Structure formats: structure tokens, C-alpha cells
Structure 1
Amino acid sequence: MEHGFDAIVLGAGAAGLMCAARAGQRGRRVLVLERASAPGKKILISGGGRCNFTNIGAGPANYLSANPHFAKSALARYTAQDFLELVESYGIAWHEKTLGQLFCDGSAKQIVALLLEECAKGGVEIRCGEEIARVEQDDGFTITTQTGSYRAPALVIATGGPSIPKMGATGFAYDLARQFGLKLVEPRPALVPLTLGGEEVLFRDISGVSAPVAVSANEASFAEAALFTHRGLSGPAILQASSYWRPGEPLFVDFLPQRDAAWLLDAKRANPRAGLRAHLRDAFPARLADILTDKLALEGELGNLPDKALRAAGERLKRWEFRPNGTEGFAKAEVTVGGISTAELSSKTMAAKRIPGLYTIGEAVDVTGWLGGYNFQWAWASGVAAGDAL
């Protein structure tokens, strides 16, 4: 049996629920189909269970895309302040952690409850546990699942990317894009730990050690903590840079973001009898200091070491080159870079230019935010853009 709706949204994640709520409250009859057993599963695990629901400074510069201008329209029309006002209207207590990152004081469940209530206000029907067997297009769209067929003149792809497959994430959005002839920008893991091999395996020996650094990849630089792991590199600064890093390329770590390259010359004058290891142990956790000292291979008191060698060591510490041999993949990636090409979509409505009634929002689109609430803001903004156009 077929059921008639004005719009069908595939995916009950952040973008899909936001879109459905917005369209429902505009009087549209909306159905949301979700493969998982409950809505908002990725939301629930985000931010350590407290949901980093937006970033107060979110703007186009915080996003990667083959077209860096594409996100401007949606982000300008639905801002972080707009979502914060919605959060506050539900009495949800929140706090700013660092760098504009906003979290619930309580639980991510509050954000899911907010979205479900917004959907309820719009009379949105949400059906979970729906495995989609077929998506067909004629004068509208027919979605066939194990429970029946559903028809609507509009279809919204909000099934996300393949990051965090243990939460049920798949590349289904890309399968649909291929079916409809939409171009894809090659998807790859983003906000993901990097792995080390070769001589750099030594750094795995200090698994669990973290330090404040500045990490650079392809002209993008992030000053936050880096964490050494049993497989390589992680921590906020590394995750941020991973979105810009490409296999085969170097990654540069500034171990002394608060000091200049001449630091060791100053140390030599102030305390010439101390060795390099002692000075680095003042600056870094001992295990990291030891491995850096061994790699720099400068033994003896600083007073006996040439200025040229100390300056070179300081410069290396300011721009330490790593050559990651890969990432930990989609299993550990928080999001996906790439996806459905923005060239196929209207930046104002998220509608496919060549296929009437088809929309794509959220992580499925080639727009990827930094770590820190930016991807949620894109979900809200792109969801609103489509919801207002349905």
C-alpha cells in the first residue's frame, strides 16, 4: 500500500530532523524514514554524550568544500545564535567549553528530545527500523521498504556519510547520488587519527602522552593539544589537520607554539651547564622530551654545543615533520570530507539543480566543518534551507 506525503526525508539524524521539523511546521506532510532503531543515534554519542551542538563563531571559513563559497548562504540565514535561541527556548542549560564550542550541561538526549518535539509540532511522522529496498522516480518519488511503499513529490537525502559505521553509518547517500546521476567529490575520512610507521613508530612508545602544539597541513594550522597513541597521532590539533592532510604528504608539528626558534640559545646563556634533555623536560612531558632529545642527537651541556646546532634544533622543534602512513579510517573518523558535489545543488535551497524535488543536506554534501560544533551547525543550517524550500 502507498501512503501519500508532501516530502519524505531519508535519515533521522541532525539534518534530517531539522529539515522535517521546519517543513512540517510550514504545513507540509512529512515522513522521516530511519534505518536505525531510534532517531538521532550519532547525536547521542557526540561531545562525550553532551552534544557539542554548535560553535558560536561558525562561519564559512570553518568548512572544507570543493566550493568554499557554497555554505555561505545557508550559514548566513540560520546562524549559531538562531540554534542557541531554540536550545534556550527549551530551557536546556549549556556552557561554552573552549574556542566557541557550546555543549549541553546535561545530556545530548536533550537535543534529540528538542528535535523530536519540533517535529511533533509540525505533525511529522517518523518511522525507524526501515530498511530501504528501492528508491524510484517518475513524477515524484516512491520509497519501498520492508513495511510498504511511500510516495511524495519531494525527497530529501539526509543519510549522512560513512563515518562511524558502528552507529549504522553507510555510503547510502552516495549510492542514491549515483542512481540520480549526481557527481561525487571522493569521500575520505576526516577529523580522524593518523597512523605512523617506519622510523616514526618510536613515537608510539609514548602512547597516552599529550602536549599543546600547533599542527599544519596544506596551509591550515591548528593550535590545540596533540595526543600520541599506540597507532600514531590524535588529539584535537591532529584531528583538525587530518581533514586537510592527504596521503603521502607531510604534517608539521610546532612543539613550541609559545616560543621562538632561538629559545635554546637563550637557554644556553641562562643555564649553559644543563643538557638539552633537561631543558626539553622543562618544556614537555618527560617521555616526549626524551624521544625528541634522542631524535635531535645533541648530547652534552648546552654551553659546549655550537649556536648553529642549537638554532637548527630549535627550528626543527618549531616545524617537526611527520610522514603519516595513513588514517584510522571511517571507523574512527568523526565526519567525512567529500560527498555529493555542491555543483549539483542550489546553495539557497539544497535542491538538486537537474532533478526536480530532490534535496541533499548535512554530511552527505561536500561541506565538512572543523571539530568543535561546526558540523552540527551545518546540519541545522542546511536542514533549515531545505525545510524552508519544501
Structure 2
Amino acid sequence: MAEQEIDVVVIGAGAAGMMAAATASQRGRGVALIDHSERLAEKIRISGGGRCNFTNTQTAADRYLSRNPHFCKSALAQYSQHDFLELVNRYQIAWHEKKLGQLFCDDSAQDIIDLLKAECDAGGTLWRMGTSIASVEQVAGGFTVRSSREHWRCQSLIIASGGLSIPPIGATGFGYDLARQFGLAIVPTAPALVPLTFDPKDLYGELAGVSLDCEARAENGPAFRENVLFTHKGVSGPAILQISSYWSPGETIALDLLPGRDARQLFEEAKRSDALLPNVLADWLPKRFAQAFCAALVDIRPMKQYRPAELEQVAARLHDWQVVPCGSQGYKKAEVTRGGVDTNALQSKTLAARNVPGLYFVGEVVDVTGWLGGYNFQWAWSSGWVAGSHA
């Protein structure tokens, strides 16, 4: 099979890969974009309930996890959330802001996919979907990339192959294997933004479907106040997904079930009444949850029959319910992968490997993991643009 020469090969046609290919090709570089999947950008398509939470107005470095928390600053500054929003507006894509700075398409995530494809086409990017990589080798002046369809010789190689999250739509460890091949270290990976699982006895019975406002915290990480959703396997919802990125097996999580309220004051006001304890709590909590929660701690009886110490125990647990998850629902349900290519091996200003000229890593494959709410897409846009600007 004859070798074809091209300036840049991008492996992975997801968010970061298309952004890198579009940026490089519009600089006049010849670009081939290769992906093993036949379908384009499945992760974008299914994101945000099909409407793609494409960025966040509050994007800043402190919204990202990494062994080097400062690494992402350069890329985020070079191509910000405002830059991507300007691109979205240029394509006249209707969007709206939900809570906490989250921006979504009004119509469909397909609008973002179409935008990225059009940007790639504008630069003359060559598409190679449904094409697997057989081998990658470093050669004088660049790399040889052998695929199932053809062989390429390129000056620059951008790896945008993603992480391990959601394997049913094509996630693999290709990027990590390639990094190791070239001597780059990998920060251990784990599912992130993922539902957590519990022993049923720790969840006070069958609570699947119950949702409540909550402040959740892992042992190492910030607190997040958003909804918690009880499932048949454990807990999910935005607050749990957020803290899952900071949680490690065996660690405790703490839930304040009445954030911004004072259970002790509530009990003080109701302590002489004939109302049952769960009914008092049902003013602030879902009734089914209040019943199960109280039954696990005390006998259910009228408020005036409880000793102060019993009510104090319930109040303390409401504001600091500590439980140890059994695990998580794994990569199949994880929105992203924590860990990845060690940022110490990369240049923050270019995303290039320090010791392998012409090799770049972008997006989820890198040890940069954003909070829930559009931050991971913004990292994809920023890192892809930076690599595409230098490759």
C-alpha cells in the first residue's frame, strides 16, 4: 500500500478532534481526520439530553480536576467559552442558558455536529470514518500512520481519541496505549461524572425515583448543591455526578439533605405537637423519603413524645448523612474519564508532547476533567483549537 503525504493526521473525530482538524485545515494545513466509528460524534449527539450543553459561561481553571490544576489555564485563555459562543452565533444556532451558566442548543445537538463538520469542510479536511488504526510509528520528520484503508506520512499527529466513558458508542483505550508507546506517563483512570451505587440497607429501603435538593461532598473536593436522584442501584443526579469525580472507592460521602435550612429550628417549633415526625419533615422533604429516613433512626410517633436527644440525632443526620458507596456504575454510565495522559508530559501552551516533536494530545484523553455543565466540551474546544493552531 503506497504512503500518502499530508501535514497533519488527527485520530478521533469527536469534539476535540473536529475542532483540531478544523483549526489546522483553515490555517492551510493538509489534514486527514480518522475515526474507527462510522457515525460522527456520537458523544456530542447524545449529550445534554440530545441538546448538547456545549459550554459554560463560568468556565475557569478551578472547574477542572488534574494532577496539575494550572495546566488547563493556557488553553482556556487562548480559546475561551466566549470564542466558541461567537462561533455558535455565527452559525445562527439558537441556544439558551439554564442554571449555573450552562448553555444548550434550543433544537438539537446535531447543530453542533453540523457546525464542526462545516468548519472542517471549509478547510478541506479529508474524512476517514469507519477506519481503524493498525500502527503508528515515529519516523524522520514526523510519523507513519497505517490504517485499515491507507498509509499516511505526516509531520504532526493529534490524538483526540477520547477516554473510556460510554464504550457502547465506541470508547477505547487507544490514546493511552499510544501515549505509553511514546513513553508518556498515564495518570490512573477512573469513571467520572457517574452515578454511585450503594448497599440497599444504606438507602433506607426502596426510594427509586425520589429526588431532592441536597448539598453533597466527597472526602476530597468541594461541595455541590444540586439535585440528588435515588435509583434502583444507588444515587444519581447532578450533585452526585459532580462529587463522583472526586470520590475514590472506600471513601465516605456526606449529604446535607436540608441545605440552607435548620432542622433543629424546625423540630423546636414542632416539638410539642401531635404531628408525626415524617409529616413535619415532609414540609421540606419528599414524603416517601422522610418516612424511610425517620424510620431508620427512631420509632415513628408524635413529635411531643421524642426526647431532645432523639431529635438532635435526626437533625444531625439530616445535615450530615455520611454513607460509603459500594462503587459506581462504571464507564458505561460515566460521562467522562478522570485521569489520562499526564500533563507533565505536555506543553500547556501547545498541547504538544515535550519529548516527541509533532505529537499532540487533546480532549478527554488528557488528565483534565471538567465539572458537569459544559466544562468538558469547552476543554475539547480549547485544547483542540490550541493543538490545531500549532500542528
TM-score, normalised with respect to structure 2: 0.97
Identity %: 52
Equivalent pairs counted in the alignment come to 388
Displacement after TM superposition at 1:201 (Å): 5.3
Displacement after TM superposition at 1:303 (Å): 2.3
Please give the alpha-carbon distance, in whole angstroms, between the structure 1 residues aligned to 2:44 and 2:265: 44
Unaligned runs of 5+ in 2: none
Q: Deviations over 1:337-387 (max 9, x none)?
A: 000000000011000001000000000000000111000000000011111
- The 10-residue stretch of structure 1 (142-151 or 6-15) with the greater mean CA deviation from structure 2: 142-151
Q: Deviations over 1:34-66 (max 9, x none)?
A: 110032111111111111100111111110001
Corresponding position: 1:84 with 2:85: yes
- The 10-residue stretch of structure 1 (101-110 or 299-308) with the greater mean CA deviation from structure 2: 299-308
Please give the alpha-carbon distance, in whole angstroms, between the structure 2 residues aligned to 1:16 and 1:266: 58
- The 10-residue stretch of structure 1 (335-344 or 292-301) with the greater mean CA deviation from structure 2: 292-301
Displacement after TM superposition at 1:282 (Å): 1.9
SS at match of 2:332: coil
Do 2:204 and 2:293's aligned partners in 1 also have CA atoms closer than 8 Å?
no
1:27-106 to 2 correspondences below 5 Å:
27-106=28-107
Unaligned runs of 5+ in 1: none
Please give the alpha-carbon distance, in whole angstroms, between the structure 2 residues aligned to 1:165 and 1:248: 25
Do 1:265 and 1:307's aligned partners in 2 also have CA atoms closer than 8 Å?
no
Do 1:193 and 1:333's aligned partners in 2 also have CA atoms closer than 8 Å?
yes
Corresponding position: 1:380 with 2:359: no
TM-score, normalised with respect to structure 1: 0.97
| Regions of 4+ moved over 4 Å | none
Do 1:267 and 1:279's aligned partners in 2 also have CA atoms closer than 8 Å?
no
Displacement after TM superposition at 1:298 (Å): 4.5
Displacement after TM superposition at 1:299 (Å): 3.3
1:126 matched residue in structure 2: 127
Please give the alpha-carbon distance, in whole angstroms, between the structure 2 residues aligned to 1:148 and 1:300: 75
Displacement after TM superposition at 1:265 (Å): 3.3
1:194 matched residue in structure 2: 196
Do 2:164 and 2:172's aligned partners in 1 also have CA atoms closer than 8 Å?
yes
Please give the alpha-carbon distance, in whole angstroms, between the structure 1 residues aligned to 2:162 and 2:265: 47
SS at match of 1:388: helix
* Alignment equivalent of 1:167, drawn from 159, 166, 169: 169
SS at match of 2:70: coil
Please give the alpha-carbon distance, in whole angstroms, between the structure 1 residues aligned to 2:269 and 2:327: 37
Do 2:193 and 2:242's aligned partners in 1 also have CA atoms closer than 8 Å?
yes
1:258-297 to 2 correspondences below 5 Å:
258-268=260-270, 272-297=273-298
CA RMSD between the two structures: 1.2
2:349 matched residue in structure 1: 348
- The 10-residue stretch of structure 1 (61-70 or 296-305) with the greater mean CA deviation from structure 2: 296-305
Displacement after TM superposition at 1:238 (Å): 0.5
- The 10-residue stretch of structure 1 (305-314 or 330-339) with the greater mean CA deviation from structure 2: 305-314
Do 1:336 and 1:363's aligned partners in 2 also have CA atoms closer than 8 Å?
yes
Please give the alpha-carbon distance, in whole angstroms, between the structure 1 residues aligned to 2:194 and 2:131: 30
Displacement after TM superposition at 1:198 (Å): 5.9
